[in-house]
Amino acid sequence: MSAVLRVHNLTKIYGSGETMVTALDDACLEVHPAELVAVVGPSGSGKTTLLTCVGCVKDPTSGFIEIDGEVVYDNGWKKVDLHRLRREKIGFVLQTFNLIPFLTTWENVFIAMDLVAKRDQRAKTKANELLDYLQVGHRLRNYPENLSGGEKQRVAIARALANDPRVILADEPTAQLDTERGKNVMELIRKLAREKNSAVIVVTHDRRMVEGFDRIYMLQDGKMINPDVHA
């Protein structure tokens, strides 16, 4: 089965001369449909830099990125509409949840579809279905300030899934949750990867949270170490 995400020799350098820092050094990985890949490393190891480059948010310095058969970066951005790509093919789950405070739970999910001109009844129904699926359907009229941390993360995951992304990128998705809720969220992400056939990368500093993932890479000082398979 072809990889949904292919990354080769991805490098990101900040600054120059004496202030130069290599945040990412020739990183390589491939992720297939329904596959869960974890990237584990301490703070400052380059985990978030990896996700923002792979997610087409930050410019890499060099390397290669292919998403869903489309080459998007090859030592320079290709002629690709990156805004469209991010909206349609990449789902982001962040540790800060990033819910819009003045929108209800339902509106926070629906807006992801509204941004790609999906505004019909099917989109409205899908927002309801995703929230029910993630067990926060009873909160659809609530605002983020009235949700628990675990509920906020479930709403954020629902929003990430709204446009059926081929790739899901999760940056420390359990950082603001206690251990039990964190493990519940990780189990949910595992379930979603299998059921939605998405390629998933989770970065975390806590290896305990990624038990049962297909592969676990270690990232240290920007260098990626060969993965443990079926960890």
| Pairing label, strands 21-31, 5-14 | antiparallel
Domain 33-57+78-229 has CATH 3.40.50.300: yes
Specify whether the backbone of 96 is left (phi greater than 0), alpha (psi in -120 to 50) or beta. Answer: alpha
Q: Which residues are CB-contacts of 190 (< 8 A; sequence separation ≥ 6)?
A: 36, 212, 213
Report the chain's mean pLDDT, rounded to a whole number. 90
CA dist., res. 197 & res. 36, Å (int) = 10
> Which pTM value belongs to this model?
0.88
Instruction: Say if residue 231's pLDDT is above 70.
Output: no
pLDDT digits over 116-131, tens only?
888 899 999 999 999 9
The pLDDT assigned to 167 comes to 94
* pLDDT at 181 (0 to 100): 81
Q: What percent of the chain has pLDDT over 90?
A: 60
Mean pLDDT in residue range 42-57: 92
CA-CA distance, 115 to 150, in Å (whole number)?
Answer: 25
At 42 the three-state DSSP class reads coil
Residues 6+ apart with CB under 8 A from 191: none
pLDDT for res 229? 54
Interval 139-192: pLDDT, tens: 999 999 999 988 998 999 999 989 889 999 999 888 888 888 888 888 888 888
- Hey, how many other C-beta atoms are within 10 angstroms of the C-beta on 54? 26
| Domain coordinates in residue numbering, the chain | 33-57+78-229
pLDDT digits (tens, 9 = 90+) for 96-108: 889 999 999 999 9
Strand, coil or helix: 10: strand
The tokens describing 117, both together, are 């001109």
DSSP state of 141: T
Tokens encoding 15: 């600054």
In sequence order, the 6+-apart residues with CB closer than 8 A to the CB of 62 are 9, 10, 11, 75
